[in-house]
A and B are shown apart, each in its own frame.
Chain A
């Protein structure tokens, strides 16, 4: 008998490609084992962060693989309905084609409201249910009580894509990288998981000839790395954005990040709603109160309701420490 898909996922050690990197096999297993009359699958195609566009690439070129991945999940966990939660732009662009490919399968396309990152899984459940755009208290986790309080499997587009590849025996330990910023050949590249950031830049002929900083893992919350820190694989959502140190406007960049987060957060909890607003205010005035901003970062990391707020300071912290070095060096 053929090995079941969950074992295959486990064997391949597929980690979620949305950013958090949770083992896919474990997630599928949890939902499979969870008790519930009905189960749901959600394919997360919200891809909200700036400079990340590999899910768009997959939807454009390999929609059938993604649907195959969802089919495998149907079989594995016995779900009745699947949703594909699509960013507005993706819904417009790929909705029609996806619908045709779906045919009469129980897969529903759901258009994400604009103006919100809403990649957070409990927010997605709330939105599909027609509730407020807010994260839910966890536990319960969505594998137990997710959409309509039923066990729910949620994976990113790329994860479903690779589930299909793994099932076919075509998986070669690769992932998709969104390479962009001040590079010669921006685009989406499929390269080995273990490739270092430096290797990705070199292999794609994108390694800059100038002093630069790289933002890795997401265009707003991804970490900020200098040249000598690129000897490790790209984490998070697999994006690499290059900033030219000769042209960079650090304050503007921070203001943009803060703006993006402020537009995209749910405004439920104080650190994320008010803390990020104050960061934006300081960046706009080009005057950072070092002591205070550290307290805000600390507050965000330790006291935010969800992962969005907790991860929000990463890029700011990175850039600020680099700014100090740059200024000290000069």
Chain B
């Protein structure tokens, strides 16, 4: 450790810490509760909500623990009648601007804000709501911004800045400087939903698709199919009070059947298809040395980012569709034919960790036989709401398998949900195909991890594959700028818009932070370890699919491939 070790006292107890840590960080690490709203460990301390105030012996006044560095020998008190009085007043003032829409709020019963109100005996109606007439904004089909709930912490502004998207502006309005979507034609939302993850007040949420899904479920004429994304299996449990990273795949299938699913499928199966197709494309591009580096395209926020901010890189995106799109397309063709179900009656509902997936399903270029592969996307949070409204507690669900034919993915299809997972899956298959023999070592641990950018070089026979991986679009931007300077820097680049990949997606349970993302990702790797088949190309389902259905290039292209094009600004206000 480079940092010096220091000793501090918090409320009489002694703690060891590193120089450079803030008081709040040390408190959190040691389970000492200090209330806060604007603090998020992904972002710079804002010190704007003024709730994390503490007193430091020998110093006059109060200090926000989120922004005050601990010093050796500090003696800190986190509570006193005076501190409580200040916190209470700040909470009252915060609630005075925020309008309470608790019933329909994305934060639901997990709302820290509301919990603090109870803890501090705050009268929510002490003042008239200042923002009662503030407008709502909708960003594409993905994100809903109720600005009357906004408490001006500006976390979304900073997060969007970190994503290199900069969709939020601070604008002067009636003597206030307020957060608002930008009018700049050169900046547009890419729907990643990271603003939602970092919003403490529930002002930002996904566009609610639960009513549409309920409607479809109630329609006797519809055949409702649910399909679950790789990453949601280690996150949905959190919504029901389960530990971080617990695998709830089987309980999820059971729960979906209870709400009326005709079939429950696993998108990881289609991730295996994506892997096989993407590995083929990679081998093709690497051997022909054309269209390099190749970029992954299963993250729809990343795709929109390229289409809007870096259209010159569109040819670098793999033409392979995302797993949810492939599976929806297969369900409405191959499956429908086999099961003799009218594809027009099939309603495919995807359970995704992601708000950008709601945008992805609106792409016309994905239509298969005139039908949308996916009809609705529910985020992990929305699924939890749907289940709860049906009085279903995931913890009490039995273990059930998914439905044939899309029930058994390989380990490769599971790890898609973590940053580096797509790369590792593609590598397993590409190396296998290029070497033509069984792999001794299946794990490519050099591409795993939570670092925001990673590089690796993989040697396969006489080919050296230079790989770049980034999570977070700000990091993606860095990689793109590198490639502009040195086009041969990488051969294969995996980008996930969200930190940690899909397990940190904009549709995932709240809270989400670095530690939580790590546990969720570990959960996926644990499942992979236990799988007998861990190479996508060895999947029995995939093998059968290619034998029975993917018999010519046209049909493969129709279901599995696409093209992208430059986007104009979609969100104008």
Contact = CB atoms under 8 A, between A and B. Distances in A.
Asked if A and B bind, the verdict is yes
Interface of A: 115, 132-133, 137, 259, 262-263, 266-271, 273-275, 277-278, 281, 295-296, 298-299, 302-305
B176 A303 contact: no
Interface string B110-140: 0000000000000000010010000000000
B96 interface: yes
B177 A267 contact: yes
Contact of B93 (A115, A262, A263, A270): A270
A269 B175 contact: no
24 contacts: A132-B170, A133-B177, A137-B67, A262-B175, A269-B47, A269-B48, A269-B50, A270-B93, A271-B89, A274-B130, A277-B130, A278-B93, A281-B127, A295-B85, A298-B85, A298-B89, A299-B89, A299-B90, A299-B93, A302-B61, A302-B62, A302-B86, A304-B50, A305-B50
Residues of B contacting A: mostly: mixed
Given A262-B176, A296-B89, 4 more contacts: A133-B177, A137-B47, A268-B48, A295-B89
Top-8 shortest CB links A-B: A274-B93, A299-B89, A267-B177, A262-B175, A263-B175, A303-B50, A137-B67, A303-B86
Interface string B434-450: 00000000000000000
B90 A267 contact: no
B45 interface: yes
A41 B176 CA distance: 30
A274 B96 contact: yes
A271 B92 CA distance: 10
Contacts of A137: 45, 47, 67
B97 A274 contact: yes
Contacts of A262: 175-176
A273 B47 contact: no
A199 B421 CA distance: 78
Nearest to B158: A132
A155 to B, nearest CB: 25
A298 B88 CA distance: 12
A263 to B, nearest CB: 4
A105 B97 CA distance: 49
Nearest to A276: B175
Interface of B: 45-50, 53, 61-62, 67, 82, 85-86, 89-90, 93-94, 96-97, 127, 130, 152, 154, 170, 172, 175-178
Nearest to A258: B175
B176 A273 contact: yes
B152 A273 contact: yes
Contacts of A263: 175
A305 B93 contact: no
B67 A303 contact: no
A234 B242 CA distance: 64
Given A267-B176, A267-B177, A274 B86 contact: no
Given A269-B48, A303-B62, A275 B175 contact: no
Contacts of B96: 274, 278
B175 A270 contact: no
Contacts of A296: 89, 93
Contact of A305 (B48, B97, B154, B172): B48
A274 B62 CA distance: 19
A137 B44 CA distance: 11
B48 A270 contact: yes
A208 B93 CA distance: 41
A274 B48 CA distance: 12
Contacts of B46: 268
Contacts of B86: 298-299, 302-303
Contacts of A266: 177
Given A278-B96, A295-B85, A303-B86, A271 B50 contact: yes
Contacts of A304: 50
Residues of A contacting B: mostly: helix
B570 to A, nearest CB: 26
Contacts of A278: 93, 96, 127
Given A133-B177, A267-B176, A277-B130, A303 B93 contact: no
A281 B126 CA distance: 13
A132 B171 CA distance: 11
Contacts of A281: 127
Contact of A274 (B53, B94, B178): B94
A271 B152 CA distance: 12
B148 to A, nearest CB: 14
Contacts of A267: 152, 176-178
Contacts of A302: 61-62, 82, 86
A137 B48 CA distance: 10
Contact of B90 (A132, A259, A270, A277): A270
A158 to B, nearest CB: 28
A275 B127 CA distance: 11
B53 A303 contact: yes
A272 to B, nearest CB: 9
Given A299-B89, A302-B86, A270 B50 contact: yes
A267 B177 CA distance: 6
A270 B94 contact: yes
Nearest to A139: B69
B434 to A, nearest CB: 49
Contacts of A274: 93-94, 96-97, 130
A14 B172 CA distance: 38
A132 B93 CA distance: 23
A322 to B, nearest CB: 25
Nearest to B98: A274
Contacts of B152: 267-268, 273
B79 to A, nearest CB: 15
Nearest to B60: A302
B307 to A, nearest CB: 28
B89 A305 contact: no
A316 to B, nearest CB: 16
A115 B50 CA distance: 25
A256 to B, nearest CB: 12
A263 B175 CA distance: 4
Contacts of A132: 170
Contacts of A259: 175
Contacts of B175: 259, 262-263
A133 B152 CA distance: 14
Contacts of B130: 274, 277
B338 to A, nearest CB: 58
A262 B176 CA distance: 7
B48 A115 contact: no
B118 to A, nearest CB: 19
Contacts of B85: 295, 298
A271 B90 contact: yes
Nearest to B66: A137
A263 B174 CA distance: 8
A124 B31 CA distance: 38
Contacts of B61: 302
